Amino acid sequence: MVLRDGDETVSGGVIEDGYPRAESVRPVMGGTYITAEGVEGYGTLGIGADRGGDPVVVTNRHVVDKGSDERPSEIEGRRVFQPEEPIGVVSEASTIGGAGSSDWAVIRVSESVARSTQALGVGSVGSSVSPSSGDRVVIDGARTGLLGGTVERESVDANFRGELYNDMIEYTVDENRDTAGNSGGLVGVIDSGRFRPVGLHTFAIGEYRYAIHWDDLPDDVDATATGATAAAPATEARVGGVIYARDGSGTHVWVANVGGALAERVVALADPSTGDIVDSTSVSLDPLARQAVTLDGRELSELRLQVGVTDIVVDV
């Protein structure tokens, strides 16, 4: 048994300028910023799902509780917001700490709120899989957007904020990014071009990140179902992204609004002074890779996908 110990805060903070996922996104979908009534800080909505015909979304319990000593019955009925408008109420939550416990919450989405079973950045998801040490994973969090990582151990115990968490997925990330606020976000593998969840990011201790297993969630929560009010991202949601690239000349890079981390994207070179498109091409972007593309005879290197909710022109 491996036992880690830490007390890092994972769901605190405020919206800052440039925060990538603090916008209102409708239909409600995974990978976005959420808060709960009377709870400090923020977390990530994991994914929309179907539960017995009802539209729901899932996240970590600690994103919607006021402390690990709260009983599940005290959390149920608490309103949840994205980012500031109510989207539903907690319908069920796990206990935290000790054998057989976990860190999940199911939120029943209000009838008046459209809900998608896609996640911002990864699109629709396939069936869940069990992780193995060495697996490459993608993390879809409100704080960071997409991050690549590697599973270190598929099952460890960890002490976090005075509570013992059993059977956690331990992984590391490719970049030294602050993942506070990613709590509740999907962690998954890319399998034959499809995102397949392995769990929900839960907390960090030093260089290590931890996720509950997807199988910890109630058996009748189905993220692959369409559900009565599920919908593909509406035009208003504008699921697009930003490509960061480097060629040393202050080039602008633009991304078409086509959605999905693994979809074909139109990457275009723009004139910095006028914004006019000089050259464009389609490229299939991999969130785990640093790619390159040639536009107007110039090679742009280190392409990286950072999904947002608008089409954006950026200086690089």
Looking at the fold, whether 88 and 110 belong to one and the same domain comes out as yes
Task: Find the domain containing 137 and state its range.
Answer: 123-212
> How much of the chain, in percent, has pLDDT values that exceed 90?
40
In a shared domain, residues 134 and 206? yes
Rounded Cα gap, residues 278 and 268, in angstroms = 7
Q: How far apart are CA 107 and CA 93, in angstroms?
A: 9
- Which tokens hold the place of 239? 């699921």
Amino acid at 253: V
Please count the structural domains in the chain: 3
> Domain ends where: 177, 212, 247?
212
State residue 262's pLDDT score: 44
Strands 221-222 and 241-246: unpaired
pLDDT band at 128, cuts 50/70/90? very high
| Domain presence at residue 100 | yes
Q: And the tokens for 150?
A: 């590697």
Does residue 297 sit within a domain? yes
pLDDT band at 19; cut points 50, 70, 90: very low
268 and 195 in a common domain: no
Nearest residue to 199 via CA among 212, 189, 181: 212
**What would the mean pLDDT of 213-224 be, rounded to a whole number?**
92
Q: Is the pTM of this model over 0.75?
A: no
Report pLDDT digits (tens) over 72-115: 999 999 999 998 999 999 999 999 877 778 999 999 999 999 88
Q: Residue 187 above 70 pLDDT?
A: yes
Residue 27, pLDDT score: 85
Q: Are residues 22 and 113 in the same domain?
A: yes
The C-alpha R_g of the chain, in whole angstroms, comes to: 19
pLDDT of residue 68: 87
Confidence of residue 146 (pLDDT cuts 50, 70, 90): confident
Task: Identify the three-state secondary structure at position 203.
Answer: strand
What residues pair up with 32 in beta bridges, in sequence order?
Answer: 45
What is the average pLDDT across 133-157? 89
Residue 194 lies inside a defined structural domain of this protein: yes
Pairing between β-strand 115-119 and β-strand 28-30 as defined by DSSP bridges: parallel
Reference 11, options 96, 76, 138, 131; nearest CA is 96
Residue 275 within any structural domain of the chain: yes
Residues 38-67 pLDDT 10s: 999 899 999 999 999 899 999 999 999 999
Distance of CA 292 to the CA centre of its chain: 25
CATH number of the domain to which 163 belongs: 2.40.10.10
Same domain, 143 and 111: no
For position 24, what pLDDT does the model report?
Answer: 83
Closest CA to 245 of 309, 313, 147: 313
Residues 55 and 79 in one domain: yes
